[in-house]
Amino acid sequence: MNGTAGSMPQTEGKMTRRTIPLSLIVGGVIVGLHLLAGLLTLFWTPYDPTAMVGGRLAGPSLAHWAGTDRLGRDLFTQILIGARIAIEVGSGAVAIGAAIGVTLGILAAFATRTLDDVFAAAFDILIAFPTLLVAMLIVAASQTASLFTAVLAIGIAGSAIIARLTRILAKRVLSMDYIVAARVAGSSWPSIVVVHVLPNIWPTLIVNLALQFGLAAMAESSLSYLGLGAPPPNASWGRLLQEAQGTVYTAPFGAIAPGIALVTLVIGVNLLADGLRAFADPTRRGRR
């Protein structure tokens, strides 16, 4: 497919094959740290997240690495718990989104032209409802904002994007000559999906799922910022930011630290995605 990759000297090809992309390592370390922090809070936190352990709105100090909030609770503890919530929501939402999205996308790609049009229009409509809107409606419908409604809402909202992408990628594969060959040779549709379609689309798909994870984490914090996410005592980064916005005059650090935590997680996941793409897709390796 790629002319430049084929014409490269063989030694160089071998060398690039052995190198693990830097972005994969850096992304892995960042995500790993967040994961560790999140897991840690299941067993231990520096302070009781609900206890008023310090002065109100204190700045960062040795005792309180990220300062305290307006009730004197330790912010670093809450940020650590926020990592767990972000990862829970991110992975849950991506799992739901992928299950729905990949299935629908492949169905659409195999469908007849009219049915495919209906699928495509349906995806467009679903994409037209942004994550937050769907989430707001689901939360309103269930009457209680919980971690689960957030996961479900973000997952469903993200599934349309995954479905649309899967449909486009799968259609591209299905128009290849070797699919015709496989059909002539008598392969069934399910085996074409497993043998040809999925292996060919997963490098692009996995990268997008990772990006979706980052978007899901951001959507969760936006929901929590609007007061529609996981209720207290779940210390979501979005809720921390919302609470800190009111006291930004006296304690600006509280409006900064949770944001940094969120941004590093998303960057980490994006780097991981980038690295995975470079690692999984040999045709792109030569270009970087």
Partner 1 sequence: MRRSAILLVSVLLASAVLFVLLRLLPGDPANALVSVGADAEQIEAARRQVGSNLPLLQQFLHFLANIAVFDFGVSFVSGAPVLGEIGGRLMVTLPLTLAAFAGSILIAVPIGILAAVRQRTWYGALISIVSQLGIAVPAFWIGILLVTLFAVNLQLFPSGGFPDDGWTAPAESIQALILPVLTITLVMSASLIRYVRSATEDILSSDYLRTARALGATLSGALVRHGIRNGAVPVISILGIELASTLLGAVVIERVFALPGLGSMLLLGIEQRDYPNVQGVLVVSTLLVLIVGFLADVLQRLVDPRLRERVTGGAS
**Which residues form the interface with partner 1 (CB under 8 A)?**
2-4, 109-110, 113, 116-118, 121-122, 124-125, 127-130, 132-133, 136-137, 140-141, 143, 171, 174-175, 179, 214, 218, 221-222, 225-226, 238, 241, 244-245, 248-249, 252, 255-256, 259, 262-263, 266-267, 270-271, 287
* Residue 181 parent element (H or E): helix 177-184
Phi, psi of 283 (to 5 degrees): -70, -25
* Least distance to partner 1, CB of residue 225, Å: 5
Tell me: cis bond preceding 233? Omega within 30 of 0 counts. yes
Q: Where are the beta strands (DSSP E) in the chain?
A: none
* CB-nearer residue toward partner 1: 147 or 267: 267
* CB-nearer residue toward partner 1: 35 or 122: 122
* CB-nearer residue toward partner 1: 51 or 246: 246
Distances (CA, A) of 243 to 95, 246, 252, 254: 30, 6, 11, 9
Residue whose tokens read 């990628």: 169
* Least distance to partner 1, CB of residue 187, Å: 14
Separation CA 109–CA 252 (nearest Å):
50
Instruction: Give SS3 for 74.
Output: strand
* Least distance to partner 1, CB of residue 130, Å: 5
* CB-nearer residue toward partner 1: 51 or 248: 248
* CB-nearer residue toward partner 1: 209 or 241: 241
